[in-house]
Amino acid sequence: MCEACGFDTTVKDADFKELAPVLKKYGNLKGSLISILQQAQDIYGYLSLNTINYISAKTGITPAKIYGVATFYTQFRLEPIGEYLVMLCQGTACHVNGAALIEEAISEHLGIADGETTEDNKFTLNNVACLGCCSLAPVMMIKGPDGEETFGNLTKESAVKALEQIRTKN
């Protein structure tokens, strides 16, 4: 372990073999950092410090710059997420139609707050600025291994019911 940078020096190229084609395609292209980070997150589920440092080593972009980009854009995660990512819209239409009450019900039901993951690693709750489904406000989207599903015109009860349906189907 490199004490100065936090990089696990035992990590080999083989540990990042799924990322190799991405780095081969974009590694030398100026302005491609966001594409690299997006694809790395798609592969690994989040951007670990080791992933950031590996990308740095392969692209020559400093870890500080990569970390700065990863923390600036809300699409990037620096911690692992649950099997199901619950994205609750907090946009204007959802806000005026009770998104705060829906968030309260979800948080109470799952025992987590925004940005947290349940102890069983089943659900992660993320408030998002907009899902683009204003006519369904308040709305949440749940992304899981089988794709994503949108739930609209939510009430506290219907939000909890949707979560329970997902929990019991597995």
Q: Which residue has the tokens 């980070």?
A: 37
**How far apart (Å, rounded) are the C-alpha atoms in residues 77 and 104?**
23
pLDDT score recorded for residue 15 = 83
pLDDT score recorded for residue 166 = 95
Token pair for 153: 């015109």
pLDDT score recorded for residue 112 = 97
pLDDT score recorded for residue 55 = 95
Domain spans in the chain, listed from the N-terminal domain onward: 13-72, 84-169
CA distances from 143 to 28, 48, 105 (A): 32, 20, 19
pLDDT score recorded for residue 148 = 94
pLDDT tens string for the chain (170 positions)?
Answer: 555 555 554 556 678 999 999 999 998 889 999 999 999 999 998 999 999 999 999 999 999 999 999 999 878 999 899 999 999 999 999 999 999 999 999 999 999 999 999 999 999 999 999 999 999 999 999 999 989 999 999 999 999 999 999 999 86
CATH architecture of the domain formed by 84-169:
3-Layer(aba) Sandwich (3.40)
**How far apart (Å, rounded) are the C-alpha atoms in residues 154 and 99?**
8
- Sequential DSSP letters for 89-146: E-SHHHHHTTHHHHHHHHHHHHT--TT-B-TTS-EEEEEES--S-GGG-S-EEEEETT
pLDDT score recorded for residue 74 = 79
Q: Which residue has the tokens 């189907």?
A: 169
